[in-house]
Structure 1
Amino acid sequence: MVLQSIREAFSLLRSMPVLWLTGIATGLLGASDILLTVWGEPFFSERMWILQIILLPFFVSGSYGVIRADDGRLSTYIREGFAHYFAVLLPGILIFFAVLLTIFIVLIPLTLAGIPGDIGLLTLISAGVIVPMLFFTFFYDTAAVFQEKKVFDSLLESIRFVVAHPGKTTVFIITALALFVIIGLLGTLLLAATLAGHLEPLTMMSQAELDALAPADLLGMLGTSGIWTAVGVYFGIIALFSAIFYPFKAVFYRTNVLVLPVQPEGEYDEKGRWFKY
């Protein structure tokens, strides 16, 4: 079913070219971050993640919306992007702060016990918090758009979906990671072939010279044209992966959510009797 979903995602990219906008936007934001860092603008580069958090929910919502409506027009993309913007934005912010709060709470008893919080321990704790939390809330954005769920409901629906399909979810994530690795390797090979002439002096350096090589020295070897080439390849990797990933995720969720058992709506009274709405 995962392979079928990725095939359908490629089909959607052909039939709905507007879906490429999400990949282009993601690639531009990533490339801008690299350029600002290279140009020595740390104030702006260190805050690019804020711009990404603000802008990306619109494009993600637009992609999911046109797939849900089966309408690839630009007007539909824009309308769906605005319609579900906050439904995608707010749960993401909530997850971010929940991760920070959980890590902080876990560190409190360790600090009181006198256990030093070195980088290794902090990394281990962060991974132990982030990985399961992201795993279970992975489909909150698709739930928000495809099922019109609000902030907390979309998170709960994602958890319910993952619990119902843990194996399929794991295969999906592994497939998505493999896709990213493949695209990244192809991009790296292209970059290496393109910049071979710029980096040829590295082959004649000793190990001591390589160890002493600073980032500024490497940028000097690349030159302006080499830097733009590297940024262009990076843009291509991020744009291509994002353009494929979001339709892939949307199709996978839409296909599997149809087989989830429908939860009856109602409540229990004080005597334990069930009343259906």
Structure 2
Amino acid sequence: MPKPKSDLDRYQFAGAGAARSAGRFDLSKVSPGDKPFSSGDKQRDRAAVELLADELDGLQNLLYADGRFKLLVILQGMDASGKDGTLRGVFGRMSALGVKTIGWKAPNETERAHDFLWRIHQHVPARGDVMVFNRSHYEDVLVPGVNGQISPAQTRQRYAHINDFERLLTETGTVVCKFMLHISKDEQRERLQERLDDPTKRWKFAAGDLDVRRQWDAYQAAYADMISATGTSWAPWTIVPADSKTHRNLMIATLLKRTLEGMGLRYPPDDPALAGLRVK
């Protein structure tokens, strides 16, 4: 059974929490190998993910029918942390009727001619929809920040803009769930090597992945800064230990189920004209 919600304090950040140290979120306090939602039995956990995937499909249909809310799910993490796997394992059974996803890459020339959130705003969910971001607007701070393309002052400014942007979304009916998939350096090495060794996965590997890996410590610090700056009461971060693929999916699916159940979703009232109608 999942742990009580209070046991999630160390994995969630909304401006304060057990992992906060001297005003800054300490990512090193969260082990990528943790399994706070595990039953202790891998097969049982896999079965739980399957059941949750079916339940999420039903809840997504109810969200679409209700039509009052929107759900934005952000999956952010290092290379090989499991963003694609989460899409398959958690969202793969949801109806295409109201679930959309987009994978964010480096901005093109047209996008760079606008403010960095311009392209993002065009893809936020409509009423009744679930939108899943595979990477997100946070890439436009993390990558240029680590590579020295924007200054620390510009980094702080962009995070302030993101907080305002996400508050705008939540105040207009969007529930924002932000998951940082937290993988260890050793596990990433194994997964990247697996991509190289498997011809069916080699297409996912890019030479630039190794350049980013060499910046591991800088990115870990940047992620801690990101969580510290943008874990808000309206859009908190959840750090998902991601060394275990099964547990990663179990944790995210469980929290999404809680989120959808907490919205008070309901089907619209029946049309009185349909009462007693018979299909011939």
Alignment TM-score, normalising by the size of structure 2 = 0.29
Report which of the two has the higher share of strand.
2
Query: Which of structures 1 and 2 has the bigger CA Rg?
Result: 1
